[in-house]
Amino acid sequence: MPRPEAAQVARAVEAASRIFIAVHENPDADAVGSLLAMRSMLLSLGKQVHPAAPTPAPDRFAYLAGWDSIVTEPPPWPPDLGIALDCDGSDRLAGLEEALLACPTVIDIDHHRGLEPFGDIQFVVPVAAATAQLVAEIAPELDLSPTPEQASALYTGLIADTGGFRFTNTTPEALRLGADLIEAGADPAEMARLLFSVRPLAAAKLQARALSSLQEPIDGVLIATLTEADFAETGAEATDTDGLIDSFRDVTGTRAAALLKECDHDVWQVSLRGNDVDVASVAASFGGGGHLFAAGCTLTGTREAVTSRLVEALQHALEEASHDG
């Protein structure tokens, strides 16, 4: 059953000629894939399109057609439609937020647990596996069927957010979309290899550091830490940790896992994963957000102070989960 919002988005797209599309800062595979598929769809309709991310799209996504068209600036021309993709709140647009919200019509397309949907049209579906799934739902409303390039971009977003069809969001709908995208020309083996396996040596070295930082789970909470020195000495970048946290939550005895990345002195980017515990609430209590079992936030303080605050919050959430269960 098509969702009515998909048709609403299509009508707004048809009525527009200059379209600004933007994703969240530190764009992930779903953000970049959704952005590039949407860009290509809009171009095929003869629209003027400006695809942007507030921080550069990592070059590990360079295999996606149009990757080099993504800029970090708002459009030089006045758009008549602005579309935000994969943004859990307009503030995730960071430096592009003001320009996007200033568009005469604003559309929010997202699958995060809608804390703060925004815009004139809100196509926010938390049960969707990926924003790519929602972009795919818009295509038929525009009488489009995905080209091989669009299918590859959407497939990348879909497998990224489902962890290669392993996470709890691996619904029949997600798998059917995967099949449709393969039929439309996405190469599943190649997309999975490029997204999950290919990585620089620095990332492999960083992974070793993260693994050796693991300690015994404390009451079901497993913490991994990467310091500024770990990044400096391996030459790795913040995005080289993508996917790392997902392997930690499966360590025996773990109910919740956290990866702390020191992005500036005593400033920690925290990724959280829960097996049976709502980590989105924990992230939200620290000003972050995300999904029920996959969330993130930023904490400031020494490694010891930040770790103990986190462990305390996660243990509290674990107690709640035990009571509910």
Characterize the bridge pairing of strands 81-85 and 48-52. Answer: unpaired
Between 86 and 240, whose beta carbon lies closer to Mn ion? 86
In the bound complex, what is the minimum distance in angstroms from residue 69's beta carbon to Mn ion?
A: 20
Site string for Mn ion, 137-176 (x = CB under 5 A): ------------------------x---------------
Between 161 and 240, whose beta carbon lies closer to Mn ion? 161
If one asks whether residue 30 binds Mn ion (CB under 5 A), the answer comes out as yes
252 alpha-carbon distance from chain centroid: 27
Q: Judge whether 24 and 57 are in contact, CB under 8 Å.
A: no
First to last CA, the chain: 33
Sequence-distant (6+) residues with CB within 8 A of 273 are 245, 246, 248, 249, 256, 257, 258, 279, 293, 294
In the bound complex, what is the minimum distance in angstroms from residue 134's beta carbon to Mn ion?
A: 10
In the bound complex, what is the minimum distance in angstroms from residue 30's beta carbon to Mn ion?
A: 3
Phi/psi at 320 (5° precision)? -60, -45
Residues 189-248 that bind Mn ion (CB under 5 A): none
In the bound complex, what is the minimum distance in angstroms from residue 130's beta carbon to Mn ion?
A: 5
Give the number of residues in contact with Mn ion, rule: CB under 5 A: 4
Positions of E strands within 75-184:
81-85, 106-110, 121-124
Distances in Å between the Cα of 20 and the Cα atoms of 17, 132, 315 are 10, 17, 43
Site string for Mn ion, 75-114 (x = CB under 5 A): -----------x----------------------------
In the bound complex, what is the minimum distance in angstroms from residue 208's beta carbon to Mn ion?
A: 28
Neighbours of 308 (CB within 10 A): 13
**Stretch of 7-15, 124-132, 136-144, 171-179 lying at the interface with Mn ion (CB under 5 A):** 124-132
By the criterion CB under 5 A, which residues form the site for Mn ion?
30, 86, 131, 161
